[in-house]
Structure 1
Amino acid sequence: MAEGGVGTCPQVFVVDRQASYISQPSGKVSRWTRVSQKFLLLLVGLTLLGLVVEGCFIYRLYKKTEEFSLCRYHPLCQNLSHPQISGQQGGAIIRQVGPKESNEIPTVPPHLDQVQQKPFAHLIGFTDRIVDKVVVWVDDVTHSMVYDGHGRLSVEKEGYYYLYSKLTLNAAEECSVIQHKVMKDTNAYNNVPIMLMRSKSYRCHTQTRSKASGGQDLWNSFLAGIFHLRSKDKIYVTLENITEIRPGPADNFMGAFMISPGNILLPTL
């Protein structure tokens, strides 16, 4: 530099080493973000569409189920749901739903016919006679069973039977043990009497009950149960230690009816 000359100012550069640098995202990262967002929106749309389609299928299934539940009680729907008997019942059903009436008698369904063929018997009344403690009945209604007229009912078909008996009694003036039994004689045990059911009660005549019932001290005894009976078995009712039975078909009776044939085993308790 010359003395007296004009000197130039020196240039000073300051470097800030603590300055932060913000990196700008590149163009490739921005494009990937946009693609991801579009793919996510597409998945959400497909999910909503699947829910709508599933809801439509569920609604159609519900309507079909509702229509079937209302239709199953109609005779025509029952015929279509049971094709094995449609040939037997089809004619009767068509006549019922058709516009024209017919004078033909509809056929009885097979299961009802089988029920009518099962044996049964109902013995009613009391004849004021007890032969060897066996109650003799006034009248009888039987089917595939035989009443001998002396209190014994014979079984013709083997099977499981529901037996029942009711007696209306007038207690004796003295105290006594009253026994109402349902018995069976079978060839399997050389016709030795077998007790199936029994009602045993100690009764005494009381003036209070006698006045309340019009001079009688009445007492009812009812027995019922299911038993296996063989062909030629005989069932009957016995009564011990009683002086009087109140007469009447509604007060005294005995009966039996088959609930299943002998080749079907009932569950054991």
Structure 2
Amino acid sequence: MVHGGVNFPSVFVVDSNARPPPLPPKPGRRQRREVVQTLLVILVFVALFGMAVEACFIYYLYTSNGKPAPSSDPQTAMSKQDKEHKVPPKQKPSGAMNPSKPMAQLTTGHTGIGIMLWNISQESILYRIKHKEKEGKLIIQQDGYYSIYSKIHFEETSIFFTHSVARTSPRYAGGEMLLLQSSRLHPKPTRTGIQDNSYLSGVFNLFKGDAVFVRVKGCKPVFSNSAENYFGVYMV
């Protein structure tokens, strides 16, 4: 355009090398960045706070180790001192323990009229079972199943020998009942002075008031020691 003889450039001249201005960031991305940064800051503070608490706890344990805790109550403190300086009680001397169930064992006795009579010695046991010494009987005091056993050391005096365990009960009026028996028959008379052993054992259901005893025939018991002659029962 010419005005007064002076040339002016056109207003519509376009620079082909110029780049378009950058677009403004979207509002959604900026909000996400702010939220992530806030969360990171919070996590950092929580981690630092946890480390500080742990350090304080460790320091407290280290400084309080080996120091007695103060007691505001004087009576409590005195009781603690008494317990610390209290002499431990003397232990009772170890002795024989009672069985957990009824039990009896008698040793070394003598012969009555066919019935073995037993004495109570240091090796004997009598717990929750009565003993009629003059009758050679053990009286049951509690219902249950009992193991009965008997051993005798004897010298035969006849061609027929029997060793038995019998029972009487107030529940039955028919007299004694045979529980265990060992018998031997020698057609020819044996030489005198020959000694032998006989052992009986079995389990039976007994009731309170029942009596068990040992009977022998055709022999002469030899009472050498308590290990050779004994009679006992115990609840199983």
1:130 equivalent to 2:106? Answer no
Question: In structure 2, how many angstroms separate the alpha carbons of the residues matched to 1:104 and 1:252?
Answer: 40
User: What pairs up with 1:1-269 in 2 under 5 angstroms?
Assistant: 116-127=99-110, 129-131=111-113, 133-139=114-120, 140-150=124-134, 151-172=136-157, 175-190=158-173, 192-203=175-186, 204-206=189-191, 216-242=193-219, 244-247=220-223, 248-259=225-236
Question: In structure 1, how many angstroms separate the alpha carbons of the residues matched to 2:168 and 2:152?
Answer: 21
Question: For each residue in 1:24-45, what CA deviation from the matched residue of structure 2 results, as whole angstroms up to 9, or x when unmatched?
Answer: xxxxxxxxxxxxxxxxxxxxxx
Question: In structure 2, how many angstroms separate the alpha carbons of the residues matched to 1:249 and 1:124?
Answer: 5
Question: In structure 1, how many angstroms separate the alpha carbons of the residues matched to 2:195 and 2:203?
Answer: 28
Q: Which has the higher helix share?
A: 1
Taking a change above 3 Å as real, the CA distance of residues 236 and 166 of structure 1, as seen in their structure-2 partners, is: same
User: Unaligned stretches of 5+ in structure 2?
Assistant: 1-87, 92-96
Please tell me the root mean square deviation across aligned C-alpha atoms, in Å: 2.4
What is the TM-score when the length of structure 1 is the normalising length?
0.47
Question: In structure 2, how many angstroms separate the alpha carbons of the residues matched to 1:136 and 1:163?
Answer: 16
Rg comparison, structure with higher value: 2
Give the superposition deviation at 1:254.
0.3
Amino acid at match of 1:225: G
SS in 2 for 1:116: coil
Question: For each residue in 1:169-219, what CA deviation from the matched residue of structure 2 results, as whole angstroms up to 9, or x when unmatched?
Answer: 1012xx42101000000111126100000000124423xxx7xxxxx3011
What is the TM-score when the length of structure 2 is the normalising length?
0.54
Give the superposition deviation at 1:148.
0.8
Question: For each residue in 1:89-138, what CA deviation from the matched residue of structure 2 results, as whole angstroms up to 9, or x when unmatched?
Answer: xxxxxxxxxxxxx8697xxxxxxx9x9331000010022x323x111112
Alignment partner, residue 57 of structure 2: none
Give the superposition deviation at 1:145.
0.2
Amino acid at match of 2:145: Y
Question: In structure 1, how many angstroms separate the alpha carbons of the residues matched to 2:141 and 2:190?
Answer: 42
Question: In structure 1, how many angstroms separate the alpha carbons of the residues matched to 2:174 and 2:214?
Answer: 15
Amino acid at match of 1:135: M
User: Unaligned stretches of 5+ in structure 1?
Assistant: 1-101, 106-112, 211-215, 260-269
Amino acid at match of 2:127: H
Aligned residues: 139
Alignment partner, residue 96 of structure 1: none
Amino acid at match of 1:141: I
Question: In structure 2, how many angstroms separate the alpha carbons of the residues matched to 1:156 and 1:178?
Answer: 32
SS in 2 for 1:137: strand
Question: In structure 2, how many angstroms separate the alpha carbons of the residues matched to 1:202 and 1:250?
Answer: 26
Q: Which has the higher strand share?
A: 2
